[in-house]
Structure 1
């Protein structure tokens, strides 16, 4: 038996329901002056409908007369994680998006952002003020880092302890719904990052209510959630309900599921399959696409294959290996997992085959790793040159803009935005933001704060020997240093922004780029510096993206039918994009015949497209 948990306000009353199977008595304490005993229900639930409760009222659950704790399914924590929960009128919002039809994953151009550092306001309202900017850029989907209530006001969001509550300092339930509504009015989809593999350490009271965690498994971030042990049915229901709340009640278009490989479930029906089945049923009801994107470290298509094919049925997944292959080439970094990359062949394979390690031996992991993605269309995979992890988990949180040249940044942008995959930008990269995105927290437990500090210092001990100092994650200055500058005034920033706009325009409008099946893309590499991508459709529309990652000028022959004519859409090294043409041959002609060759400057990209006679 499964029940809807939480506080559900009605006209003159409120239904309270909580799961606490080992407790002998559960009471709800309202505004510190009313205490009512809940009725025991089957399978460990406690429930009561209480009269004279209104939105804004504060409440705790009293467990066996011993402790008072906030509601595990709280929607609002106005006094942060240790304070009481607040009753919310779930229906008190005027949606104006009834005509919103959604966006399928295949059409998404994603933009990952962190609400707290995206603007100086650090709120949902601040994001709303930037929606027209994102539209001008060409973005049609924002992916928001976790907003579930966390300790204090500064956190990446992965330390959340109330999966249902919207971070109060961001603007709470009303502010989040207002943002989603505003996005839909402008044609922008919203995907939310959610964490179902662990809970944060501070304010995590779930164990006092019931067996939400298990000792059978462990995760790098804390206790594993109980998805397949005794009492798992009610724990699973708690999180499946959470998925449906975000997509139905908050009108979200999709969820990014954090580290799905760390969701431990060896039951016959994996939690991810249950989530997928539930979302498909909701999708049918709502008549608009709903997207589930997993973050996986396993190079395993089981997560995105259909249930009929033995998979879990997620819509798509992030591909870290595309990032690693690209990053290792342009930075020449070899530490950590980058030890598995660094050859041009790795990046060429990431373009063509998706997984670099798809059943091959991984020197870094010291084992054979991964399986083939060749039976999955490209649009099931999200790629990026930067994201919150790949920046923020560096010691100094340094962005690619501070590691490589301006020319290389443009090459990376084209690699992502014109790939056959679903592209995702990380906030600020489109104008070459140079401020870091560092790791920050605002815990209130002094012992926890010190443990986090020591953990970061230990992780980067090698770099400290080189004279660098790990930024203090608890310091407010670390947070402020990570807030976008929005300095778009210099020629460099303007050129980069316009370059991104042009690339996105090409992605949206060029007919050769609309097919994402694998048979519509061909890749070649000379092993030295050139990777070429040829994309086409069932008609005679062809687009070439020729990338030169080398330090020398190179020649590339199209080897096409001589009746075809190709227009030069972009040469990233030209003065038009802030470059300095080093070879007059590069910009000598705007059109090429199908059998001609093209000269490509070092660290640059040329885009060619067929033209109708």
Structure 2
């Protein structure tokens, strides 16, 4: 099977032979095409800032650049591949050269999702698409059903988290060629795995972005973001910009047969138009690839805008499928570590109440004032939404990597706390997310790393260390100097997972706990989730660190949680139903007496009538 997303942008092979090149450059009056290092060919000016040229001699594999009137040569902003990095020539790719073996794949329902987030460069020693294929069978045995890949859009240098990409259509050459990415996706589908890709539509990276030189209308200076002027989704000439990002979403879903996208930090997208770009992308997905298969749109959104997560009368998402629930993470992190600085300050008081609200209603903050945000209200009512709309996690790339030393939660919390939190995460009705290596308590940190040019590299290193100066721990300049340099090769190398650890103590036991819990989730919980609505949750706070909660599942059964996430024992009324899991420190006799030891979790299931 062949797959090809036709686009007005970039280089497109023509069925009759040759290649058609198109560039939107409304700020210049002439553009030349340099093909395979040869003579510059003048492009034809079309309407509304477009330049185009049909070259019969061009072919798949041809390298090309665009020359501007000032002599600057730039890669194609819609390049499908840039083999020599972001400053080099683009390569013509023939999408139909890849023969897809997964023609029968229709994806999986979201209720089955157990998400595993990976950074391709540090997931395996190979650090590429091919290396990731070698770990797919392991993920299936673990109980994972979906892999979420951090951004692959071409970034500068040898390594990067991916959020500094500047060529959104081009898989970074550090990971392999486009066909290598397609092989990874096809291999995942063969094993029944959903593949989600993290994409960045709120900014371009700081190095290798040439759009300002010929298409400044890609940006809207009326809106400032942490990365400079906002992408222009609402001002003059925004139609072409919007088309570019809608095309990008469809490109990944159609040409690469991905099962969904995770949109990074949509709160940083500045768009007051109607429909918003998020709505336009969601509509394009629903009316396009979403008509024939399961396609999932996942959001990161600090504003907790529940309207993006609405369901129709058939409980199908009207826009996005789900959102990462930072509120739940922050609450559990405070409980497990006692840290209350930065944004954790908002979760220090009554953490069990906030946790209960996350588990029963979605967001902890639903319009209440945030002290961290200087008293501004945060969030919107979300209790009407189903648990499937909220992705729970203990760790992800941000929450680990934005720490000065990239410590994982297992480096900060006790083994008992980790067992309790893992049991809570993996058996709750909400889809869980694991960050690579979490399932075996990896010793490796996940640091912030990048590989910018010398001038920018120094600014990033200094800025990174200055960022932590507001914390008491880093008030001393000498201590700040100990923060790893993001641009040092050693910072990236320290993050590559050591897979031999899964055969050693204590990592093997942690891995077995995850496998046990995910088997239980697959067998006893997932089959009951469809149609549960918001679950009609019942919440009871037992202490400042303990709670009881139960949900009505789609088949009428009730799933009940007892959790004591503190250092003191507490009293509890044992739930009705059959015990399906308890942490190692909680036996049936103790629970029957109504006692919950410190850091203990129990799950019960009561059969019910679906009518």
Is residue 2:582 matched to residue 1:571? yes
Specify which of 338, 341, 359 is matched with residue 367 of structure 2.
Answer: 359
Is residue 2:429 matched to residue 1:420? yes
Cα distance in 2, alignment partners of residues 119 and 133 from structure 1: 12
Cα distance in 1, alignment partners of residues 11 and 183 from structure 2: 21
Q: Is contact 1:337–1:364 with CA below 8 Å preserved after alignment?
A: yes
Q: Is contact 2:423–2:583 with CA below 8 Å preserved after alignment?
A: no
Q: Is contact 2:297–2:322 with CA below 8 Å preserved after alignment?
A: yes
Specify which of 20, 25, 28 is matched with residue 20 of structure 1.
Answer: 25
Residue equivalent to 1:472: 485
Q: Is contact 1:25–1:65 with CA below 8 Å preserved after alignment?
A: no
Residue equivalent to 2:144: 139
Cα distance in 2, alignment partners of residues 495 and 87 from structure 1: 49
TM-score (norm 2): 0.92
Residue equivalent to 2:197: 192
Cα distance in 1, alignment partners of residues 309 and 206 from structure 2: 31
Residue equivalent to 2:597: 601
Q: Secondary structure at the match of 1:460?
A: helix
Cα distance in 2, alignment partners of residues 307 and 160 from structure 1: 35
Larger mean CA deviation between 218-227 and 108-117 belongs to 218-227
Cα distance in 2, alignment partners of residues 538 and 290 from structure 1: 22
Is residue 2:246 matched to residue 1:240? yes
Q: Indicate how the Cα distance of structure 1 residues 284 and 82 shifts in structure 2: closer, same or farther if over 3 A, else same.
A: closer
Q: Is contact 2:219–2:232 with CA below 8 Å preserved after alignment?
A: yes
Residue equivalent to 1:45: 50
Q: How far apart are 1:413 and its partner, in Å?
A: 1.2
Specify which of 506, 511, 521 is matched with residue 507 of structure 1.
Answer: 521
Residue equivalent to 1:550: 566
Cα distance in 2, alignment partners of residues 373 and 85 from structure 1: 45
Larger mean CA deviation between 524-533 and 122-131 belongs to 524-533
Q: How far apart are 1:198 and its partner, in Å?
A: 0.5
Superposed, 1:258-269 pairs within 5 Å as 258-269=264-275
Residue equivalent to 2:297: 292
Q: Secondary structure at the match of 1:412?
A: helix
Specify which of 90, 95, 105 is matched with residue 85 of structure 1.
Answer: 90
Cα distance in 1, alignment partners of residues 80 and 465 from structure 2: 35
Q: How far apart are 1:493 and its partner, in Å?
A: 1.2
Q: How far apart are 1:103 and its partner, in Å?
A: 1.6
Q: How far apart are 1:540 and its partner, in Å?
A: 6.1
Residue equivalent to 2:3: none
Cα distance in 1, alignment partners of residues 221 and 290 from structure 2: 37
Cα distance in 2, alignment partners of residues 314 and 154 from structure 1: 30
Specify which of 121, 135, 148 is matched with residue 126 of structure 2.
Answer: 121
Gaps of 5+ in 2: 1-5
Q: Is contact 2:543–2:570 with CA below 8 Å preserved after alignment?
A: no
Superposed, 1:480-519 pairs within 5 Å as 480-486=493-499, 487-511=501-525, 513-515=528-530, 516-519=532-535
Name the Cα RMSD after superposition: 2.2
TM-score (norm 1): 0.92
Specify which of 546, 551, 558 is matched with residue 530 of structure 1.
Answer: 546
Q: Is contact 2:528–2:555 with CA below 8 Å preserved after alignment?
A: no
Residue equivalent to 1:411: 420
Q: Secondary structure at the match of 1:348?
A: helix
Residue equivalent to 1:97: 102
Q: Secondary structure at the match of 2:601?
A: strand
Residue equivalent to 1:577: none
Residue equivalent to 1:209: 214
Is residue 2:6 matched to residue 1:6? no
Larger mean CA deviation between 81-90 and 62-71 belongs to 62-71
Q: Is contact 1:112–1:425 with CA below 8 Å preserved after alignment?
A: yes
